[in-house]
Amino acid sequence: MAHQGSLEIVASPFPDVLKELHSKYKSLRDGLVANYIPELAKVNPDLFSICIVTVDGQVYEVGDYEQLFTIQSISKVFAYGLALEDHGRDYVLTRVGVEPTGDAFNAIILDEQSNRPLNPMVNAGAIATTSLIKGAGATERLNRMLDMFRRYIGHDVFVDISVFTSERSTGHRNRAMAHLMLNFGMIDQNIEESLDLYFQQCAVMVNCRDLAVMAATLANRGINPITQEQAVKSCYIKDILSVMYTCGMYNFAGEWAYKIGIPAKSGVCGGILAVVPNQMGIAVFSPPLDVRGNSVRGVKVCEELSQQLGLHLFECSGKGSKFGETFCPPPATA
């Protein structure tokens, strides 16, 4: 289904594929909505949408694609890009590593040798990344963050105050991480300001279409395919996508890379954002989560999209496939 505006829908396999996947998984009831942040526990578990935006600005979407929700951990991708622009990759690497971790996203763990958080996609690393965002005070830093999101999405965004307040009042584990990093000199003394900014970035309101445009912007060398505005310098796209590929799905990242094979980031809101470089951005929104904190329907949809459309980064096109997927015959029986 197309939305109003200047975006043109053309003949493509995407509409039928998205409609089929939405119908197939709409009745799936596995998983639970996040409840460690009280406001998130109120979300309707039946909400479900899928959206694809191509690098030439075509939009394909199905389901509740205009339903707003808080971006949560997906924001880490974009805050990392802003920190890279503010300081450059060499300095950012002194504060936040890029190593995958098999631990949960909220694990209180630092690298034993460098004392850095392991990567910018886990909470500790994201807090350290957000602390690097420049600005003369809390208001300027927040405005720079919101303007960054605006460039990626193409319209102004706002923070859900109820979710921000809920995260701020219950975020004791994140506060503990911040103090541990302060002890090792990974963040500066202004802990509360940086934590507030982190909680605010996670509480930015988006919909599934917005996420797909953001993903397509990363796929399009940092240029928003709808507005043609440069959202992030192209030279940092490889940094962002590399970390997404190896770390974006937490302790499911290895299996995601093996089965689905594209850079992605999940959030406890139920969103998954995935990037097919130079081709498209994909977004799925469905609140029920698996034990690792990833959307159950979202993972299923992305796995099927990768298989049906041949999206895996190491896919080799083969004859006889529906959309370019390599055909592998079943193993011979004895």
pLDDT at position 9? 43
123 is in an annotated binding site: yes
**What 3 state SS string does 222-267 have?**
CECCCCCCECCCHHHHHHHHHHHHHHCCHHHHHHHHHHCCCCEEEC
Poorest-confidence range of 9-13, 42-46, 159-163?
9-13
Give the rounded distance of the alpha carbon of 31 from its chain centre: 19
**Among 168, 166, 181, 229, CA closest to 40:** 166
Would you call 131 a catalytic residue per the annotation? no
174 is in an annotated binding site: yes
Task: Look up tokens 């622009």; give the residue.
Answer: 85
pLDDT at position 332? 62
pLDDT bracket for residue 10 (50, 70, 90) = very low
251 is in an annotated binding site: no
167 is in an annotated binding site: yes
pLDDT at position 108? 64
**Among 292, 283, 288, 252, CA closest to 270:** 288
Q: 52 or 7: whose pLDDT is higher?
A: 52
Q: How many domains does the chain have?
A: 1
Would you call 268 a catalytic residue per the annotation? yes
Instruction: Single out the catalytic residue among 250, 265, 296, 306.
Output: 250
Q: 250 or 11: whose pLDDT is higher?
A: 250
Instruction: Single out the catalytic residue among 92, 98, 163, 268.
Output: 268
Q: Is the pLDDT of residue 4 over 70?
A: no
Helix or strand or coil: residue 27?
coil
Query: Across the chain, what does the average pLDDT equal?
Result: 89
Q: What is the CATH number of the domain that holds 331?
A: 3.40.710.10
Instruction: Single out the catalytic residue among 25, 152, 198, 245.
Output: 198
Our CA angle for 227, 52, 261, nearest 5°, is 115
Instruction: Single out the catalytic residue among 43, 49, 73, 131.
Output: 73
Question: Residue 124 and residue 110: Cα distance in Å, rounded?
Answer: 8
pLDDT bracket for residue 39 (50, 70, 90) = confident
Average pLDDT over residues 275-287: 97
Report pLDDT digits (tens) over 119-178: 999 988 899 999 999 999 999 999 999 999 999 999 999 999 999 999 898 888 888 888
Average pLDDT over residues 12-19: 90
Would you call 134 a catalytic residue per the annotation? no
Helix or strand or coil: residue 2?
coil
Query: Considering the chain, what percentage of its residues have pLDDT values greater than 70?
Result: 88
Owning domain of residue 255: 1-334
Report pLDDT digits (tens) over 194-232: 999 999 999 999 999 999 999 999 999 999 999 999 999
pTM: predicted TM-score of the whole model, two decimal places = 0.90
Question: Residue 281 and residue 59: Cα distance in Å, rounded?
Answer: 10
Report pLDDT digits (tens) over 45-100: 999 999 999 999 999 999 999 999 999 999 999 999 999 999 999 999 999 999 88
pLDDT at position 23? 97
65 is in an annotated binding site: no
Number of Cβ within 10 Å of residue 175's Cβ equals: 15
Q: Is the pLDDT of residue 193 over 60?
A: yes
Instruction: Single out the catalytic residue among 17, 62, 76, 131.
Output: 76
Question: Residue 95 and residue 227: Cα distance in Å, rounded?
Answer: 33
Would you call 76 a catalytic residue per the annotation? yes
pLDDT at position 102? 66
Would you call 36 a catalytic residue per the annotation? no
pLDDT bracket for residue 320 (50, 70, 90) = very low
pLDDT bracket for residue 106 (50, 70, 90) = low
